Amino acid sequence: MDNQLRLDHPSFWGQLLMVGIPGPGVDAVARELVRDLKVGGVILFARNIETPEQVWELTRDLQQEARAATGRPLLLAVDQEGGKVQRLKAPFTLIPPARELGITRTPEEVELISRQVARELTLVGINVNLAPVLDVPRSPACPQWHRAYSSDPERAARYALAAIRGYVSGGVIPVAKHFPGLGDTMADSHEVLPLALSGDAQREADLLPFRAAVAAGVPMVMTAHLAVPEWEERPATLSPVALQVWLRRRLGFNGVIITDDLEMGGISTKLTAPQGAKAALVAGADLLLICNNWQAAWETARLLAADASLAKRGREAAGRLQLLRESLRPQIAELKAVQEYFARRS
């Protein structure tokens, strides 16, 4: 249905956006984003989460709005990595930091934990987990140190693949991040644009886990706001070299490329979210992530709709997202099942 929309209309381009919404319910802003802009996905943060029952109701209501507007379900995402980066707190399963898992647990145990987390996410209607992290941090000075499984590329790959298997078997779409690897950085892309410091144009250590994940069929990959001088000066999120030459051609990835949040400092110090979104789309990204400013989502869609040269790229991205959204399972859990499950965990 979405692809029948006119390319010069913002709602065609809305399907390429994953956005944050203001609060724990479907208010006027959330309804407008889903019903009128026809966004392809919604990402949930602490501001959207109160109890398992409330999350179930929120996702149910969002999906009802989406199906009425487009005939297709939304991608409903959350960052549930573990450690400091997990939006859903108790009574949901709490995940240790990836670094701790890589030291104290086996890949088989990580797969089991990931499956358990995925089942809880699906129970409350969340179908995408923005995890696992595939970065290979070189030292504790790297901001990704605690979020990554290991500083050994092969070990990091084994644990990441185990997590991916667990999420998939539990019914959730996993997202391998952050391509092409933030492990050789010393700055935080939330604040500034980090520089890749390894000097390796082939990025062998950093790309090994991504090669393994792509070979294993991971359906989504998230970009990093990272400058690789050996490739080009633009951040990987905005770089055709990173996304088209390396991720698509050399690694052979055919799934959905999602950007990291376009409001992060790694992009926003130079470009507005709409400008960054346009550059990311041109570079090869399919799903454009805007986590906080819902007005920027509308501005992005209008900016894309005004540029006829984006038609081919827009149709390509929309096609990939359509296939992914059509593959989603409908929410089948009853509220009573949610209440009973989490009552046992309390």
Give the rounded distance of the alpha carbon of 337 from its chain centre: 27
Which residues face 222 on adjacent strands? 258
What are the DSSP calls for 215-283, one per residue?
HTT-SEEEE---B-TTT-SSBGGG-HIIIIIIIIIIS---SEEEPPPTTSHHHHTTS-HHHHHHHHHHH
> How far apart, in whole angstroms, are the C-alpha atoms of residue 23 and residue 228?
37
Can 27 be counted among the known catalytic residues? no
Marked catalytic residue, from 188, 190, 200, 307: 190
Q: Which of 2, 79, 206, 260 is catalytic?
A: 260
Query: Is 190 annotated in the active site?
Result: yes
- Concatenated DSSP letters of 87-131: S--TTSPPPPPHHHHHHHS-HHHHHHHHHHHHHHHHHTT--EE--
Handedness of CA 257, 261, 266, 272 (dihedral sign): positive
- Residues 30, 31, 33: CA angle, nearest 5 degrees: 65
Q: With H, G, I as helix, E, B as strand and everything else as coil, classify residue 18.
A: strand
Q: Do the beta carbons of residue 130 and residue 177 sit within 8 Å?
A: yes
Contact yes or no for 283/240 (Cβ under 8 A): yes
**Main-chain phi, psi angles of 44, to 5 degrees:** -100, 140
- Identify the burial level of 217 via C-beta atoms within 10 angstroms of its C-beta, where 0-12 means exposed, 13-18 middle and 19 or more buried: exposed
Do 149 and 96 meet the contact criterion of CB atoms below 8 Å apart?
no
Helical (H) or strand (E) element with 318? helix 311-326
Catalytic (active-site) positions: 190, 260
